[in-house]
Amino acid sequence: MGNQPVRVAILGTGRISDLHAIEYKQNPKGKIVALCDQNVKQAQSQAEAWGVDDPIISDDYREILARPDVDLVEILLPHHLHLQAALDAIAAGKMVSLQKPMCMNMEEADILVEAAESYDRPFKIFENFIFHPPVLKAKELVDAGAIGDPISIRIKSNPGKSK
Ligand SMILES: NC(=O)c1ccc[n+]([C@@H]2O[C@H](COP(=O)([O-])OP(=O)(O)OC[C@H]3O[C@@H](n4cnc5c(N)ncnc54)[C@H](O)[C@@H]3O)[C@@H](O)[C@H]2O)c1
């Protein structure tokens, strides 16, 4: 791979994908080259919004996994697809970043842990987005003593769409 950026495919271009794209847009070590969503129009409009040149677009993630010009996949699909997509990505030899929750239940988790432990390429689970600006703002306010000493925190969010 040398000094070339890691070529990234975004599998699932829904709500959370914008937050993943932010890092790739600012980090020269990675480059989004492909987007996959069953809603192809959405994948296309995300590619445009992120300024991806000449994007590979597909509604079938297996098509993306078969491509030699994709190094890493960000699996941002709904929960019930996580296990199969992750196993398919491992079988395809890609580096894998998988959104939480890793899968649907303990049986699936055991299968995935075993597959990841015997895999010789990077595999990570992307846990909660603790650097999300509203969370950082809440922390700043708590640290500044805005509400005294918290004894517990309950967060209610409304994940509405802006488009
Ligand atoms: N870490 C965090 O803080 C965080 C926050 C939000 C979401 N997530 C996780 O990320 C994942 C995606 O969440 P989201 O909010 O972006 O969901 P979303 O519903 O907005 O996006 C999912 C996308 O997957 C597409 N899709 C569904 N089935 C598909 C298929 N078979 N092939 C191709 N595309 C398909 C949908 O069209 C949709 O665009 C979920 O597992 C969620 O738990 C994590």
Residue 151 lies in a domain: no
Residue 112 has pLDDT above 90, yes or no: yes
Which tokens is 37 given?
């969503």
Q: How far apart are CA 102 and CA 79, in angstroms?
A: 7
The predicted structure's pLDDT at residue 115: 98
What's the domain count of the chain?
Answer: 1
Indicate the top mutation candidate among 10, 13, 38 to test ligand 1's pocket, ranked by most ligand atoms within 8 A of CB. 38
Which tokens is 54 given?
């000449």
Question: Which residues lie below 8 Å from residue 137, measured CB to CB, with a gap of 6+?
Answer: none
CA-based nearest residue to 125, from 103, 88, 94, 100 = 100
Q: How far apart are CA 141 and CA 148, in angstroms?
A: 10
What ranges in the chain are assigned the alpha helix state H? 17-26, 40-50, 61-65, 82-91, 106-117, 133-143
DSSP class of 125: E
Residue 1 lies in a domain: no
Residue 59 lies in a domain: yes
Q: What CATH number corresponds to the domain at position 84?
A: 3.40.50.720
Residue 155 lies in a domain: no
Q: Which domain holds residue 64?
A: 6-143
- For helices 82-91 and 106-117, what crossing angle results, to 10°? 20
Residue 124 has pLDDT above 90, yes or no: yes
Residue 72 lies in a domain: yes
User: What average pLDDT does the chain have?
Assistant: 93
Residue 1 pLDDT class (50, 70, 90 cuts): low
Is the CB of 13 within 6 Å of ligand 1? yes
Residue 80 lies in a domain: yes
The predicted structure's pLDDT at residue 3: 81
Q: Whose CA is nearest to atom 40 of ligand 1?
A: 78
Residue 163 lies in a domain: no
Residue 109 lies in a domain: yes
Q: Give φ, ψ of 15 to 5 degrees.
A: -50, -45
